Amino acid sequence: MQISMIPEPKKILAGEEGYADPAIREKKVNPDMGGEEYRLQLKKDGIWIEGGSETACLYAEATLEQIRLQCKDELPCLTVEDGPEHSWRSFHIDCARHFIPAEELKKMIRMSAHFKLNKFHWHFSDDQGWRIECKRFPLLHEIGAVRRGDHMGNYDSDETEDRYYTREQVREIVAFCGELGVEVIPEVDMPGHVTAVLAAYPQYGCRGERIPVETQAGIFRDILCPGKEETFAFIEQLLDDLLELFPGNYFHIGGDEAPKEYWSSCPLCRKRMKEEGLETLQQLQGYMENRITAYLKSKGRTVIVWNEAAYGGNLDPDTIVQLWTDDKENRLGEHMERGGRAVISIVKNCYCDYPYGITSLRDVYELEDCPEGLAKAGNGILGTECLIWTEHVRDVKRLETFCWPRFAASAEVGWRGQDRSGYLSFEARMKALLPVFEKYGIHAEKVSGWVPAQEEADRQKAEFEKNFSAEDRQEVEKMQEII
């Protein structure tokens, strides 16, 4: 019998004739193995598990779970020797645009861990909501988590959304991730995508004017002011507040889609540029990200940014850059030539908030995980990320259906890198593993929807594009010119 596994293990060796004893005889950490490597042996006298760490042993157990789901008690004798190509295999969930309840988030995390995704990029702050209880700045959740109306895209409603995770819930989710071998990467997007922050604390924007939490999707002009020292004091205290909750190695500080119109006319921003010898507004963003990074480094953290933060060409080389757009003017390439590292999450392949008619399962599987130009710049590509943004995701069924099985495809891309077997092999194995989704109670997209025929793809595309009016598109284009 052909046994399907996802991510496909690097090596599967056939064993003796006859069935294996299903009892686990031994599970041990072997310090001589790589931290994510494991060996799983199914033998006549039982099952042996060895891994380079506790997490690697969990990987072996996930592989075993897939084998058991297909073979029941008639386990074949075999040995799996496995380990990932990329150490960075993250999944991102936007809990700001629409709040994802803690229980649902755990369900998504558990499913992701099953496929050996190892980092949860938790996006909890954006224009449309700040979603974590904050001790030092309580207005963030008292004002920033309350949205009067939901007018994102085609959807129009006066319903309120007034929800955030309590600190207790955050701790619980972080601990839950830890048990599953998943590292949490919190993100506070700065200096842009901060309407909900400025709704609570308007004094840290250039204009200082009170603005409401956004009820529409888009890119917005009010961003944090790097001309004011108070802004940095605020950010540092806010980070202190969050570092108590997130003990992991990494912290994402955003940096995408920050229109600089108000910086351009702000006397304090201009003064800062002059004093610091910064020639462009993009360099001013680099300066700001570097100051925040220096603070986080002093607390032992490694910082990640979206690739626009590298446009100024002055980003701290220790910063990890997450590529989602084109590498405008080869800024990421230059960053990597200076020793910088990157995570690949290109919209066309990695964004699971688009319907399958725009981003098919095949598109996700066929991500170029080591883009040619960047791979040349050294071996600084850490891995990949799959994402879901939730402007147009208002219920958990859509969340799950959009993510699964696309997140599983991304997991295999990260695990096998360029050595993967090809989409048709992946698709056949995914079909055989559908019981996994049933077991975890996940609403996955049905097989016929994975790679929709042209007519259906066109229909889904047209339906989705109704979310973007001609004015919205024009506005986004205008904003992109000033980023």
Which residues contact ligand ACM by CB under 6 A? 256-257, 306, 324
Shortest CB 203 distance to Zn ion, Å: 11
Shortest CB 210 distance to ligand ACM, Å: 25
* β-strand partners of 132: 165
The two tokens of residue 309 are: 């933060």
Residue 37 or 353 with smaller CB distance to ligand ACM = 353
Residue 183 or 308 with smaller CB distance to ligand ACM = 308
Residue 76 or 205 with smaller CB distance to Zn ion = 205
Given a contact cutoff of 8 angstroms between Cβ atoms, the answer to whether 454 and 364 are in contact is no
Residue 258 or 266 with smaller CB distance to ligand ACM = 258
Shortest CB 306 distance to ligand ACM, Å: 5
Given a contact cutoff of 8 angstroms between Cβ atoms, the answer to whether 250 and 182 are in contact is no
Residue 80 or 304 with smaller CB distance to ligand ACM = 304
Residue 188 or 266 with smaller CB distance to Zn ion = 266
* β-strand partners of 384: 89, 344
| 70 contacts: CB under 8 Å, gap ≥ 6 | 1, 3, 4, 432, 433, 435
**Which of the listed partners (ligand ACM, Zn ion, none) does 3 bind, with a CB threshold of 5 to 8 Å by partner kind?**
none
Shortest CB 54 distance to ligand ACM, Å: 32
- Other Cβ atoms less than 10 A from the Cβ of 46: the count is 14
Is residue 288 near Zn ion by the rule CB under 5 A?
no
Shortest CB 8 distance to Zn ion, Å: 51
- Other Cβ atoms less than 10 A from the Cβ of 140: the count is 24
CA distance 344 to 3: 30
**Which of the listed partners (Zn ion, ligand ACM, none) does 266 bind, with a CB threshold of 5 to 8 Å by partner kind?**
Zn ion
Residue 75 or 388 with smaller CB distance to ligand ACM = 388
- Candidate list 117, 206, 399, 479; residue touching Zn ion; CB under 5 A: 206
3-state DSSP call for residue 158?
Answer: strand
Identify residues 211-270 at the interface with Zn ion (CB under 5 A).
225, 227, 266, 268-269
3-state DSSP call for residue 384?
Answer: strand
CA distance 85 to 107: 26
Shortest CB 272 distance to Zn ion, Å: 8
- Binding residue count for Zn ion, defined by CB under 5 A: 6
Shortest CB 324 distance to ligand ACM, Å: 5
- Other Cβ atoms less than 10 A from the Cβ of 74: the count is 11
DSSP E strand boundaries for 136-229: 146-150, 157-162, 183-187
Q: Which amino acid is at 290?
A: N
Positions that interact with Zn ion (CB under 5 A): 206, 225, 227, 266, 268-269
